[in-house]
Amino acid sequence: MATEQVLADKKSSEVLRHLGRRSVVFVGLMGAGKTAIGRKVAAALGLSFTDSDHEIEAVSRMTVPELFERYGEAEFRALEQRVIARILENGPQVLSTGGGAYMNEQTRQAIADRGISVWLKADIDILMERVVKKQNRPLLKNPDPRAVMLRLMNERYPLYAKADVTVVTRDETKDVIAAEVIAALAESLRRDCARIPRKDMQ
């Protein structure tokens, strides 16, 4: 166990060394565990954690479901884009984004410029098992939420696949998934540094 901890600490140090001022940004569908795993990764790296949905609620003084209901999805996405762009100016940190955030081209570019993206990929059964426990999912207020989730997977997975790192989240402990994320980040950043020294790392 002590050896495992030493290896984990080594990976965390490597990530921090190569991250520079960039942020680690979690993307993926609702229920993938972006907030739970994001908090674990932030703690392991000694970085602050931010949830973009919580920030949106703070600036708007409304909940995400209220924003959807009052202004519609398009207006919500525009606000989400502005909030995420502002958050990314203050790296390094760990940021969890809403499921639809990465669909926005400007947001994807902002994440690419100022962060390293991590897609938490999950299968339909894992996602449904997690989201049915919560009533605050505006997109799932539908007679057939599983069909909605499958449609979202078909629409969004091709774009999530553009993320720098992909980690499969499954019926495993948060600590295990977080450790896999840090190991994948270390590997990706190592390759990135070997290719082209990035300006924001200097």
Q: CA 32 → CA 42, 54, 164, 166, distances in Å?
A: 17, 17, 17, 12
The tens digit of pLDDT for each residue in 176-196 reads 999 999 999 999 998 877 665
Q: How many CB atoms lie within 10 A of CB 130?
A: 17
Burial-class residue 105 by CB neighbours within 10 Å (0-12, 13-18, 19+): exposed
Boundaries of every domain in the chain: 13-189
* Cβ atoms of 118 and 164 closer than 8 Å: yes
Assign domain 13-189 to its CATH superfamily: P-loop containing nucleotide triphosphate hydrolases (3.40.50.300)
The pLDDT assigned to 202 comes to: 42
pTM value is 0.89
Q: Residue 6: what pLDDT?
A: 61
Give me the pLDDT at residue 150, please: 94
Q: How far is the C-alpha of 153 from the C-alpha of 159, rounded, in Å? A: 10
3-state secondary structure of 31: coil
- List of the chain residues with pLDDT < 70: 1-4, 6-7, 133-140, 194-202
